[in-house]
Structure 1
Amino acid sequence: MKVVCVGGGPAGLYFSILMKLRDGGHDVTVYERDPAGSTYGWGVTYWAGLLDKLRAGDPVSARAVEDASVRWSDGVAHLRGTTTRHHGDEGFGIGRHRLLDLLAGRACDLGVRVVHGHEAEPAEIADGAAGAGLVVAADGVRSALRTRWAGHFGTEVSIGRNPYIWLGTTKVFDAFTFAFVETPHGWIWCYAYRFSADASTVVVECAPETWRGLGLDRRTEAEGLALLGDLFADVLEGHPLTGRGGGEGAPAQWLAFRTLTNRTWHRGNVVLLGDAAHTTHYSIGAGTSLALEDALALTASLHAAGAAPGAGGAGLDAALTRYENVRRAELLSVQSAARYSARWYEELPRYLRLPPERMFALLGQRHSPLLPYVPPQLYYRLDSAAGRIEPLRRLKRWLGPRLAGSLHARARG
């Protein structure tokens, strides 16, 4: 089978690896519009559970990714001169550039053609010029392939309230770090984590009124970096922040998060993968993991009994439908967690009145659909009690998903 994958990010590259491992006879090409080595972004995060899935999919690339990753197990919050540390699950960080290099190298070793600097035009795909039995749209949240048939896919995009920016630093954090700083214009905060032995990612976020009040909407990248470096000087400990480096006078690359959903994920022989199909708020650190899990699910569906990719027609449609149904079900809890996590930060002043250790405890509970509807002090006391009393733990586990489903259905209606 001839497979064309549009987009050379983690989803597209990993899918190409899995397809060649399933059947070396597949003719697989990955087209990436950007030149090799030009990827934007410092580091990505994932959690231990993903490694088990990657080992099952391809032990070779899983071992390479694990060996190139750094680890942490603590979370630290800085607020009003107080530092609070909690021990948590083991997390991993890896440079995005390094991750793509490893996956592209493995793909090429298996016989995948990885073509950089090539824009696969939607018209080329639509006209069948690619000659592919399967076209995988793994070209991100602004997917050109998905946009061409947005009406068919039923694409919906909602824009988040808070502006944010991805930055890097040479400060190496020993834990996943949060820092909250009060300014005359409101609160601004960052999430920071290391992704190599000598570098970390820093994501800065604030409310729109704080962003405008600090002049971050008008400052150049260099001016903004200088101001943010001063605001977070205590946690950076003298290390500079780095941006995209667009040159003197270049604008800062502030963003508004785009939550994307689609009514369906496939059209004929074109199927959506990763951020082209769905996005989840960056504050839960799941984007890369979900993209790789998409690739695993799509490959498994294509090669399931009775739905081999070479079957085409009804067989291919059944395989793509199965992939979509499986992933939609698996994504429900993650998407709920992402919605409530984003909302927690948008309502941050509600929680900053708490003592720092309680605020940090509720930061860890930000995925809860109950939290926005219960006074924070009361929620903290109830959650503490639930940790000690088994009936309350069972009630919380039972009520949370039901409330999340009810509220989500009401919002969609």
Structure 2
Amino acid sequence: MRVKVACVGGGPAGLYFSILMKRQNPSHDITVHERNPAGSTYGWGVTYWGGLIQKLHQHDPESARAVRENSVSWSDGVAHIRDHRTTHRGDEGFGIGRRVLLDILAERAQSLGVHVEFGRELAPDDAPPDADLLVACDGAGSALRERHAGHFGTESVTGRNVYIWLGTTKVFSAFTFAFVETEHGWIWAYGYPFGPDHSTCVVECSAATWTGLGLDEANEADGLALLEKLFAEPLDGHPLIGRADSGGSARWLTFRTVTNRTWSHGNLVLLGDAAHTTHYSIGAGTTLALEDAVSLAGALRGQPALRTALTHYERERRSALLSTQSAARYSAQWYENLPRYTQLPPEQMFALLGQRHSPLLPHLPPALYYRLDRTAERLDALRRLKRWLGPKVARTAHSRLR
């Protein structure tokens, strides 16, 4: 059945959803309304992991290939802690420029017949687009959702730390963490490559450290100069860059965890950050948005009634998000309580950085948790060795008996 769909917001979620709907039925009338001009976006690179590419390939091989071809990858994690550098092997991760990703998805959507209207912002008193299905994919501060905030039961919890999203010409060879102690407290950065010439660099600290260093009052140039000095070693002399476009200065922010009691209202449904946000420190935001799009398109294909389809989508995604959202909460709390871990030797601190999703970690002394974790790891390795040796020992004994 042919339906008319309007997506308000041209981020990854809305664009990918429009692609999937067009692939399901080319006769669908689909329009994406994006408030920014074509080719402009705030942000640098986004991260994802190998499983996402496999999932994208199942649903649209063409866009999946383009995303993979325009991504860079890494497998190591590196931490600079005071004057110490430590490295750990990890799963393969990927980075892609946010603008590149949006261009890929927009071009793919348009090639399938989706109408993508750039520079189209929905004012507070504007009537929503006329459609059989209205998709709010306009971010954590969704204006479309706020029109029915009471129905959706939107809640927003603000984190304690402040952060700023920056770029740099330093191309990191691994996912890089840097922790610096100042007279006003700790400040740290996460860095990862997303192309041949640039990396993303997110800087975070407590509000007390931010004000103590004067970053709350510094203009952009002075603030970036101070951060470049603090992170001189991992940046290796490269500059930090405030914005990828000329749309103003980079801003210090506090992360908002957004949740909603329900995700739909009549023919209006929430997608991506409009429905839920997940702390940036686990690098899952873009992946979750794209997975939302896959789930919603699948529900609409499999359920004939709109109400039933939207209920199925919400139930499926809430269940899938539980473990990731729990990990994100504990990850944010780990950073908010960073001084609890900075007295450990650097290798142990980095190990617990990798364990920051654990619900047990906040309740045990860090050094004790580290020892218990190492013991469990050795026991697990011993169990794997015994399972591997078992058949070999049995075969050897059997041959000797013969």
What is the TM-score with the length of structure 1 in the denominator? 0.90
- The runs of 5 or more residues in structure 2 that have no matched partner are 384-402
Contact kept? 1:220, 1:252, Cα under 8 Å: no
Looking at structure 2, the residues matched to 122 and 216 of structure 1 have their Cα atoms a distance apart, in angstroms, of 34
Amino acid aligned to 1:354: L
Matching of residue 303 in structure 1 with residue 317 in structure 2: no
Looking at structure 1, the residues matched to 147 and 382 of structure 2 have their Cα atoms a distance apart, in angstroms, of 50
Q: CA deviation at 1:246?
A: 8.7
Matching of residue 341 in structure 1 with residue 343 in structure 2: no
Contact kept? 2:158, 2:256, Cα under 8 Å: yes
Matching of residue 167 in structure 1 with residue 157 in structure 2: no
Contact kept? 2:161, 2:206, Cα under 8 Å: yes
* 2:262 counterpart residue number: 264
Contact kept? 1:71, 1:93, Cα under 8 Å: yes
Amino acid aligned to 1:62: A
Matching of residue 39 in structure 1 with residue 41 in structure 2: yes
Looking at structure 1, the residues matched to 371 and 382 of structure 2 have their Cα atoms a distance apart, in angstroms, of 12
Matching of residue 384 in structure 1 with residue 384 in structure 2: no
- The runs of 5 or more residues in structure 1 that have no matched partner are 309-314, 394-413
Amino acid aligned to 1:274: G
Matching of residue 178 in structure 1 with residue 177 in structure 2: yes
* 1:134 counterpart residue number: 133
* Pairing 1:183-198 to 2, within 5 Å after superposition: 183-198=182-197
Identity %: 67
What is the TM-score with the length of structure 2 in the denominator? 0.92
Matching of residue 320 in structure 1 with residue 310 in structure 2: yes
* Pairing 1:130-279 to 2, within 5 Å after superposition: 130-244=129-243, 252-279=250-277
Contact kept? 1:5, 1:135, Cα under 8 Å: yes
Matching of residue 20 in structure 1 with residue 22 in structure 2: yes
Shift in alpha-carbon separation, 1:71–1:245, aligned structure 2, 3 A: closer
Looking at structure 2, the residues matched to 114 and 161 of structure 1 have their Cα atoms a distance apart, in angstroms, of 38
Q: CA deviation at 1:125?
A: 4.6
Contact kept? 1:220, 1:251, Cα under 8 Å: no
Q: CA deviation at 1:120?
A: 2.8
* 1:403 counterpart residue number: none
**Counterpart secondary structure, 2:341:** helix
Amino acid aligned to 2:135: V
Looking at structure 1, the residues matched to 380 and 244 of structure 2 have their Cα atoms a distance apart, in angstroms, of 53
* Pairing 1:349-360 to 2, within 5 Å after superposition: 349-360=339-350
Contact kept? 1:42, 1:97, Cα under 8 Å: yes
* 2:282 counterpart residue number: 284
| Max Rg structure | 2
Contact kept? 1:297, 1:327, Cα under 8 Å: yes
**Counterpart secondary structure, 2:378:** coil
Looking at structure 2, the residues matched to 246 and 52 of structure 1 have their Cα atoms a distance apart, in angstroms, of 32
Looking at structure 2, the residues matched to 241 and 120 of structure 1 have their Cα atoms a distance apart, in angstroms, of 34
Amino acid aligned to 2:241: T
**Counterpart secondary structure, 1:54:** helix
Q: CA deviation at 1:247?
A: 7.9
Q: Once superposed, what is the RMSD of the aligned Cα atoms?
A: 1.7
